Structure 1
Amino acid sequence: MTNASRSVDEIDRQIIHALQIAPRITWTALGEIVGRSPAATAQRWERLEAQGLAWLIAYESLGTRAAMAFATVTVDMTQRESTIEALCAHESVMALSEGARASQMHVTITADRLETLVGSVLDAVALIPGVQDVHARFVARLLAEGASWRLDALDAQQRKLAEHSAIRSAPGTWRESAGPTFDDDKKALADALIREPRANIAHLSDVVGRHEATVRRQLTALLQSGAVTVRCEMSYEVSGWPIEQSWFLRVPGGGINALTAAAREYRGLRLVAMTIGDANIVITALSRTLEESAAFEARLVDSSIGVTVTESVLHLRTWKRMHRNMGKDGRSVWSGPGEVLRPVPGSSGSTR
């Protein structure tokens, strides 16, 4: 067992699980769930966050941040380290990991629209020193994503209490957005929430210069519509689900629903996306063992006639996840790209 593993006990796991369900729950309500005072609960969370073991993020959905691609980036091995650093520093790179081939990086890239992604971002990535080739698969639609992933640390009564708080504050569950759903006023509120995912209504009201009742109504609309998602992330190394793998699949049109249903039954599911390219479905999942990951792959292939795996990627080391740089020990090391994505000191405990 690693030192990182010893730094997360059962109460910590319960706090993380509750924040996965209700990321904007008050410390008072969260303390009641885990049997600790609000102050002690907040202190535990601050330690987890400071150690890079767990953190909160807020982000616009694919429906609003309209373009995404999964790219395989081939790098010059003589410049590998500096190229990884440059890729991680790029503001459009959401995630970056390496698999079995040391010369290939697996990169998730986003942009405000497809034209920008193709005509600007991918070109810029291709010109980074050390990048030799970029093979992109474009996302047409997200069918499931990581905000719905859960630990199994709370009992049924604790989950019920957390779910009740989620209804009142903000659900920690991704909802597929129908597309851009907010005007400039709501965009300003969305940016404020992305900076401080747990900021209370009074603080958000001060930031955007609007009445608290207006902010509360607009915030509820943003979260319930799926335009903005708030979620709790944690280090895979201490989650009990340390293995991350992605599958690129070719699925006949009639089998996509069956495949998606089979994938959603798996507790470790992180992502299902429809893509354009040699694979039309991409799935990412966590597992506790390699054997469990192999069994999940077999379940996907057996879900419908004609399903084939065109590529399988075992993510051996993750350098960036959801715009956060990750250290070699799997912990978050913050070095975000822009003001909209940069946490404000002290923001993690601002919801009362």
Structure 2
Amino acid sequence: MQEMALDELDLRLINALQIQPRVSWAALGRVLGVDPATLGRRWDRISTEGLAWVTGYAVDRLSPGAIVEVEAMPGKLLELAKALLEDPEVATVDITAGSRDLVLSVIAPTSEALYRYVLERLEKPNLVSKVYSHPIAKVLAEASQWRLRALDTMQVEALRALKPESGRMRRFNEFDEAVAEELFRNGRATANEIAASIGANQRRVRESIASQLSAGTIRLRTDVLRSESGWPVNAWYFLSLPAAHADRIARQLSRLDEIRTVLSIVGRYNIAMTVWMRTLEDVSRLEAAIEEQLPEVRIADRSVVMRTTKLVGTLLDENGRRRGYGATYLQRSATP
């Protein structure tokens, strides 16, 4: 049996950073009962090896967006997936098995720019066979809120009770944008590291970080190599259900441990969601649970993700490890 790259303490550390991405090692050491220096060394190894990472995005850039299903020309799937990595409109690229070759999460600065990308630039000559786009009407549950569940209830509550450094509310400017873009690449970058990178005063950087996090204008997320998470199976589900009940049903769906993202979409389905599961057998078990608990829901289709090559701007290798940063419109200023 292959040895796991992440052990129990690693998973607890990652779970803690999902709850408090910028928690200090001293504070986290008190919650976990582990020496802070040990936690720091472990995170250095985990992040350097691309096993887990903290990134972020601007909350006000979550829309307009679309979920786009793509069929590639025969023999061109991997070439197409690679070509899409360079498009800032494409936040996430999933290579899937099933009725579509790719599922893309697409974000653009305006609705016109979104439609222009799907209609004009996504139709790459000699690579794309078919495109089905589904504009996102509402984000009902976000993957950034999904948790590993490696901590006990008391540890989770202790982490939630930690109060990050507060910042005064003010109008944000280009300097704050520069600080944010550094956090988007590395959500645990220190004020000193960011100050050195952008050539700024460390105190001013610290104030900018505190202000933006306090205002909720940026959101940090901790991601983990799926194959080492204990939840190695990833799938997209496409659902049809009565529109009047979409919000209620989405809330019920998001309570299931496996479900990471729930989106209200417009198209041949009206709900798209991503799930992580422990085994392929859980696909049938999850579907049975949904059918039993939510009889109004019809599971129209599903696709297992074979490989993710871009995840909210982070570039992943063939094993799912972080290998770089590709950026998207979620994470930088852009004109239409």
TM-score scaled by structure 1? 0.82
Shift of 1:49: 1.1
What corresponds to 1:40 in structure 2?
A: 38
- The amino acid across from 1:2 in the alignment is Q
What corresponds to 2:127 in structure 1?
A: 130
What corresponds to 1:161 in structure 2?
A: 158
Give the conservation status (yes or no) of the 8 Å contact 1:98–1:105: yes
Is 1:106 the counterpart of 2:96? The answer is no
- The amino acid across from 2:2 in the alignment is T
| SS across alignment from 1:85 | helix
Percent of aligned positions that are identical: 27
What corresponds to 1:78 in structure 2?
A: 75
Shift of 1:127: 2.1
Q: CA RMSD in A?
A: 2.9
Superposition pairs for residues 240-319 of structure 1, below 5 Å? 240-304=230-294, 306-319=296-309
- The amino acid across from 2:133 in the alignment is A
- The amino acid across from 2:230 in the alignment is G
Give the conservation status (yes or no) of the 8 Å contact 2:232–2:278: yes
Shift of 1:308: 1.7
Find the aligned partners of 2:241 and 2:211 in 1 and give their Cα distance: 35
Shift of 1:28: 1.6
What corresponds to 1:30 in structure 2?
A: 28
Find the aligned partners of 1:144 and 1:338 in 2 and give their Cα distance: 20
Shift of 1:130: 1.1
Match of residue 138, structure 2, among 128, 137, 141: 141
Find the aligned partners of 2:274 and 2:226 in 1 and give their Cα distance: 13
Find the aligned partners of 1:273 and 1:208 in 2 and give their Cα distance: 40
Match of residue 325, structure 1, among 303, 315, 320: 315
Give the number of equivalent residue pairs. Answer: 327
What corresponds to 2:48 in structure 1?
A: 50
Shift of 1:274: 0.9
| SS across alignment from 1:316 | strand
Give the conservation status (yes or no) of the 8 Å contact 2:309–2:316: yes
What corresponds to 1:174 in structure 2?
A: none
- The amino acid across from 2:223 in the alignment is E
Q: 1:183 to 1:306 in 2, by over 3 A?
A: farther
Find the aligned partners of 1:102 and 1:328 in 2 and give their Cα distance: 22
Shift of 1:116: 0.8
Shift of 1:220: 4.5
Give the conservation status (yes or no) of the 8 Å contact 2:55–2:183: no
What corresponds to 1:120 in structure 2?
A: 117
Shift of 1:15: 0.8
Q: 1:247 to 1:225 in 2, by over 3 A?
A: farther
Please list the CA deviations of residues 71-97 of structure 1 after superposition, one character each: whole Å capped at 9, or x if unmatched. 111111233332221112322221112
Give the conservation status (yes or no) of the 8 Å contact 1:18–1:159: yes
Q: 1:83 to 1:247 in 2, by over 3 A?
A: same
Please list the CA deviations of residues 264-323 of structure 1 after superposition, one character each: whole Å capped at 9, or x if unmatched. 221222101111111111111111123333232233344445422222111122222222
Shift of 1:335: 4.5
For structure 1, which segment, 278-287 or 117-126, has the greater mean C-alpha deviation from structure 2 after superposition? 117-126
For structure 1, which segment, 43-52 or 184-193, has the greater mean C-alpha deviation from structure 2 after superposition? 184-193
TM-score scaled by structure 2? 0.85
